[in-house]
Every structure is written in structure tokens, then in C-alpha cells.
Amino acid sequence: MSLFKRDKNLNPADASGQNSALAKLALNSIHDGVIITDKAGIIKFINPAAISMTECGSFENAIRLDYGLLLKLQSKEGRELSENENPLIQAMKTNQPLENFAACLIGVSSGKVIPIAISVVLANDSQGDRIITFRNITKELAEEGEQAEFISTASHEMRTPVATIDGYISLALNPQTATIDERARGYLSAAQAASKHLGKLFQDLLDATKLDDGRIRPHFVPLEMVGAVKQIADAQAVRANEAKISYRFGSDDPATFSDTRHIEQVVYGFVDPDFLREIMDNLIDNAIKYTPAGGSIYVNVRGDGDRALINVTDTGIGISSEDIGHIFQKFYRADNSDTREIGGTGLGLYLVKQRAEAMGGRVWAESGFGEGSTFFVSLPRITGEEYEKRMIAVRNQQALAAQPAPTPAAQPAPTLAAQPAPAPAQPTIAQLAQTPAPPAIPAPPPVTTTPPAPTQPQPQQIINQNGGTI
């Protein structure tokens, strides 16, 4: 016997009429905005929540308009999105679904901006209709903000005791300040590696929360990308060399790429040099970590339409197809016998993605388990003319700032070492890796010591940025 009683008197045509009335009722009563368009993007239906969020006034006003006139989006950071960077336009153009893209919706009448998560699905009909749904995420962001604030404060506070622990261990490991036997040296070296790992974890957490809530924002400057990326990558060559990994920067590498597009180009970008450095340091650091001795790393930059395309290629352990879709998520680490021994926080690629996206860029990986990996970063590219124009603006700014004002022609082009962009409030990952954390040092701990104690600890061991062993 059926649990559900059917109304035998209801004919199928009536049932379908009732269903569509019910569907309409449901759409009219929900808080999420719903817009249905035909395959050309012309609006066929809009529910009251969408009318209110887009500020279009009424159902009649919206019908037969192009969806783009109502759904004007900005990036989360409040930056105008070009057509290429706007996933909604791309999804509508290419018939691809879009899931929960976080952006800001600009109201058509007041210009008021509300944060939304927007999705697009293809309607299950023969006409190729699209269903666009979006919801106001102001409350979610506020809750996330509180959580981020907590993580950020906690990480900030915890860095201080970790730096102190690191300082004491450095004192104990320094033959000028302490006498210890070889066994104790082994234990303390392991403790120091762990405290460095912890320090790196807190720094990454702090950076991740600051990037999430927009406290770290990119400062864009015109940059000649090939030279800039080469400078960053070359600085890591020594570490690759120490790990017995060969490093190459440049265009053609027949062994790695047979692609004829790899011709030396002058590629100009409009990027944040600090963000670029963090991205490259992280990708090259990973390439070194996950490539066994005897392998090789290849870095290149080329122009690809309106994008500057960077690749960091290695011949290392590679990434399985199950893991590759997750590696840019927070704390995700591929778990296999090769990676288990390699230290890391699982935050590096998340930070790479955040920084690339904050600059209007994209990052992705191509790899197979045991086949090496290539990480691609595509960033906004500008023409030579735009570069010159923006450089003039930069020089003018520099000239204004300098006292007495020098002639613009005498000003050097911005370099990675001296950019006009303001320095970030927090030390960057690269700076942190280069600079031993200066703990507040009280008297040396009561281990076997040889007075007098120095005022600053000298780190005995330099380990890689991610605090891991290669």
C-alpha cells in the first residue's frame, strides 16, 4: 500500500499547471535572487528578491533586458572586472556552469554595492535557457570576518612565544653560548625545525586571513615581467643547486617544451611586485621540495593575448588526478609516501591562488603522479605603450615625492628591489625566511651554558621556507 495518497481526480495537465503555479510561488517567496534568461542572455523571468537586489524596480522593467544590464559585478576587492575576468560573463558565453562565485553586485539605481555569491546552471530544457541564482552574503562575510579576526589575533600572538623558543634553541645550539653533547644537538635541531615550521604556519595563517578580508591589497605597478620573474627565480637557484636540482630560466627548452610559442618576448605586466615575489617564491620552493635530487626545474614567462603567462615546471614526484583538484584549498596536502616525509603547511598554494586572484590573475596546475608538474600563473598584461604611459605616471609620482624634485628622465625604472608601492605592514614570507625572528631574549636558559651570553641568538641551521626538509 502506498504511503502517499494521490488525488485520482487530478488530470496530468492540471497537475502540471498547479506545479508551475507552486514553482512560481516558491520563487517569489525565497530570499535568493533568481533570473532566468534565454540562451542569448535576455531575461525571461526575475523573482522579487532579484528585483530588489539589482534595484531594477519591477518585473516589467527587467523583462527582455540583457542580464548584463542588471548584474553588474565588481571583484570582492571592489575592482572593476574586465570581461575576461568576469566568471559570470564567461559562464554565460561558454555555456559552462558557475558555482558560488563571490563578488559584489552594484545596484542599478543607487550604485549601492552588496556582496553576493552567484551561480549559473543550464536549464534542463531544449531552448538552452540559463538560471542565474545569487544570494546576499553580507552576514556570512561578517561571521567569517569574526572568525578570521580570531585566527589572525591568535596567530599574531603565538608568533611571539615561538620566536622566543627559537631564540633559546639557537642559544643552546651555539657553541659560543652553550656546551651540549651531540645527542642533545640532534634533539635541539629537530626542535628548531619544528619551531620554524610553527612560525611559518602562523605567518601563513596571518597572511591568509589578511588576504581573505582584504587587509592586504595589491599595489599595482607597471613591470617588465621577464626580467622581474627571472630575478626572483634566479635567487632560488642556489637552493636548487644545494638540492642537486638543475635550474633553467628562459624560452626554448626542447627537452621540456617543443612548443614553438616559446620565443623570447618582452612582456609587460601591471602587477604587485611583492605579490609576484611571494607567488614565485612559493611555487619554486615547492618545485625544489617535491623534486628529488637529479631532477630539474624550468621557469619561463611569455605573453599570451592580454595575459602574461608564467610557468614553473619540475620533473618531480607529480600530483595524482585525485589530488590536483584540491591542492589550492586551505591546508590540503597530498598524502602519499613521497609527500609524507616532506614538511609543509598546506597553505602555500592557497596563498598563491589568493594573491594571483587579487591581481586579476589565475593559477592552475598540470601534472600526473610521477610525471613532474607545471604550475601556470596568468596575470594581467599591458602593451608597451601602456607600460610607457604608466611609467611616466610612476616617475611623476616619484618626482613629486622627492625633494627637491628631480627631472623625470633621471628617475630609474621601478625594480623589484625598489618599487613605488608602499611596503606591506607585515614582513613577507620571503623576508621572514631570510630574517631570523628576533625574540625578546632574557637571560639564557639554565642549560649547560658558557657565559657571557650574547644579546642576539645566532641560528645554526637554515631550513627551507616552508620549514620542511628537502
Site residues (vs ligand ADP, CB under 6 A): 286-287, 290, 314, 316-319, 327, 332-334, 339, 344-350, 373, 466
Considering beta carbons, is residue 45 or 332 the nearer one to ligand ADP? 332
To ligand ADP, the closest distance from the beta carbon of 365 in angstroms equals 7
Cell of 16: 502540471
Residue, CB closest to ligand ADP: 344
Smallest distance from ligand ADP to CB 333, Å: 3
Q: Which is nearer to ligand ADP, 145 or 346 (CB)?
A: 346
Of 270 and 275, the one with the shorter C-beta distance to ligand ADP is: 275
Give the gyration radius of the chain's Cα atoms: 28
**For 470, which DSSP code?**
-
Nearer to ligand ADP, 92 or 349 (CB): 349
Nearer to ligand ADP, 178 or 324 (CB): 324
Q: Minimum distance from CB of 459 to ligand ADP (Å)?
A: 21
Work out the angle between the directed axes of helices 225-235 and 273-289 (0-180°, nearest 10): 40
The residues pairing with 66 across neighbouring beta strands, listed in sequence order, are 42
Residue closer to ligand ADP by CB (options 290, 298) is 290
Q: Which amino acid is at 240?
A: A
Cell of 346: 598546506
Instruction: Check: CB of residue 47 under 8 Å from CB of residue 28.
Output: yes
Three-class SS of residue 369?
coil
CB of 237 to ligand ADP, least distance (A): 16
Cell numbers placing 37:
534568461
By CB neighbour count within 10 A (0-12 exposed, 13-18 middle, 19+ buried), where does 8 fall? exposed
CB of 368 to ligand ADP, least distance (A): 10
Helix pair angle (348-358, 182-212), 10° resolution = 30
> Smallest distance, Å, CB 460 to ligand ADP?
23
Which of residues 232 and 287 has its CB atom nearest to ligand ADP in the complex? 287
Which H, E and C letters describe 376-439, residue by residue? Answer: EEEEEEECHHHHHHHHHHHHHHHHHHCCCCCCHHHCCCCCCCCCCCCCCCCCCHHHHHHCCCCC
Rounded least distance, CB 205 to ligand ADP, Å: 12
**Of 171 and 284, CB closest to ligand ADP:** 284
Calculate the alpha carbon distances from 262 to 303, 312, 440, 448 in Å.
9, 14, 51, 60
Q: How far is the CB of 337 from ligand ADP (least distance, A)?
A: 12
| 460 contact partners, CB below 8 Å, separation of at least 6 | 170, 173, 174, 189, 192
The letter for the amino acid at 205 is: L
Closest CA to 432 of 463, 386, 396, 401: 463
Question: Minimal distance in Å, beta carbon 465 to ligand ADP?
Answer: 9
Q: Which CB sits closer to ligand ADP, 115 or 344?
A: 344
Residue 163: its H or E element: helix 138-173
| Distance of closest approach, residue 217 Cβ to ligand ADP, in angstroms | 22
Q: Which is nearer to ligand ADP, 79 or 248 (CB)?
A: 248
Q: 150-159 long-range contacts, Cβ below 8 Å, gap at least 24?
A: 151/205, 151/209, 152/205, 152/206, 152/209, 152/210, 155/202, 155/203, 155/205, 155/206, 155/209, 156/202, 156/206, 158/198, 158/202, 159/199, 159/202, 159/203, 159/206, 159/437
